[in-house]
């Protein structure tokens, strides 16, 4: 993939995320783009990936050809407070105040795991994705949805918390798309089949 920042020469509100990320725990696939008409889109790492403290080593993984709308947020584990404790107050974070061992700081929150986004996923305006969630290939996350649970491939979800609205295609088509995995094709092959991909003529992609 070309290592340019802007997919469109006159559009400074849309960036290829892979070209603007420096955090090794944020892994972005080729051609995944982010649009922001409110803030600087190159600051995605600072403004949109929240509570990703290095000590926790949790990851945000986003596949190829994803479309992420303005204001979408990814909230990692350090935003949580431990619910197994008798208090939700994060004592381990304030280890100096309470003479606690700094090595136990991660006990302040429940660790639910990484956020993993598949390929060709569309994440709508100001949607929120919580720690531990996996979103399947081809899924669509509605505007301002709050995703608290895993989303199957090619499923449209919306609401708070996000719930399935419908499947995008028949199960037969979904199974075939997951087998084809067009997003892993060489660039030239994708270029040759853009018309079929856009028109839904999956029979020509077999």
Residue 190 falls within a domain, yes or no?
Answer: yes
Residue 3 falls within a domain, yes or no?
Answer: no
Beta bridge partners of 120: none
> Tens digits of per-residue pLDDT, 61-72?
999 999 999 999
pLDDT, mean of residues 32-38: 98
Residue 36 falls within a domain, yes or no?
Answer: yes
Whole-number pLDDT of residue 201: 76
Same domain (yes/no): 128, 150? yes
45 falls in which pLDDT band (50, 70, 90)?
Answer: very high
Whole-number pLDDT of residue 76: 97
Residue 137 falls within a domain, yes or no?
Answer: yes
Residue 194 falls within a domain, yes or no?
Answer: yes
Same domain (yes/no): 32, 114? yes
**DSSP E strands: which ranges in the chain?**
14-16, 26-28, 33-35, 49-50, 60-62, 67-68, 73-75, 115-117, 122-123, 128-130, 134-135, 140-141, 146-147, 155-158, 163-167
Same domain (yes/no): 128, 60? yes
Whole-number pLDDT of residue 15: 98
Same domain (yes/no): 72, 20? yes
Same domain (yes/no): 81, 132? yes
Structural domain for 196, as ranges: 170-206
Same domain (yes/no): 106, 160? yes
Exposed e or buried b per residue across 192-203, where buried means at least 16 C-beta atoms within 10 angstroms of its C-beta: ebeeebeeeebe
The one catalytic residue in 19, 20, 51, 81 is 81
Residue 203 falls within a domain, yes or no?
Answer: yes
Residue 6 falls within a domain, yes or no?
Answer: no
Listed range (1-5, 31-35, 121-125) with the worst mean pLDDT: 1-5
Domain count, the chain: 2
Same domain (yes/no): 192, 137? no
Same domain (yes/no): 96, 197? no
Whole-number pLDDT of residue 1: 58
pTM for this model (two decimals)? 0.94
**DSSP E strands: which ranges in 17-80?**
26-28, 33-35, 49-50, 60-62, 67-68, 73-75
Same domain (yes/no): 132, 59? yes
205 falls in which pLDDT band (50, 70, 90)?
Answer: confident
Same domain (yes/no): 206, 174? yes
The span from the CA of 128 to the CA of 115, in Å, is 11
Same domain (yes/no): 148, 60? yes
81 is catalytic: yes
Same domain (yes/no): 117, 20? yes
3-state secondary structure of 77: helix
Q: Residue length, the chain?
A: 206
| CATH number of the structural domain spanning residue 72 | 2.160.10.10
Residue 5 falls within a domain, yes or no?
Answer: no
The span from the CA of 48 to the CA of 44, in Å, is 5
């Amino acid at each position: 993939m070309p290592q340019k920042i802007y997919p469109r020469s006159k559009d400074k509100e849309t960036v290829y995320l892979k070209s603007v990320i420096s955090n090794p725990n944020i892994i972005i696939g080729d051609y995944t783009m982010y649009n922001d008409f409110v803030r600087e889109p190159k600051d995605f790492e600072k403004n949109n990936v929240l509570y990703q403290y290095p000590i926790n080593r949790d990851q945000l993984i986003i596949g190829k050809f994803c479309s992420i709308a303005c204001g979408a947020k990814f909230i990692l584990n350090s935003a949580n407070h431990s619910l197994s404790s008798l208090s939700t107050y994060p004592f381990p974070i304030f280890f100096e105040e309470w003479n606690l061992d700094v090595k136990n700081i991660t006990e302040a929150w429940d660790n639910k795991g990484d956020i993993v986004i598949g390929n060709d996923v569309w994440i709508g305006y100001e949607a929120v994705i919580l720690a531990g969630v996996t979103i399947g290939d081809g899924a669509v996350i509605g505007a301002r949805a709050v995703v608290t649970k895993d989303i199957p491939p090619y499923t449209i979800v919306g609401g708070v918390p996000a719930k399935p609205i419908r499947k995008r295609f028949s199960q037969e088509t979904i199974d075939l798309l997951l087998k084809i995995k067009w997003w892993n094709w060489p660039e030239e092959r994708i270029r040759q089949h853009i018309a079929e991909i856009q028109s839904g003529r999956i029979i020509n992609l077999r």
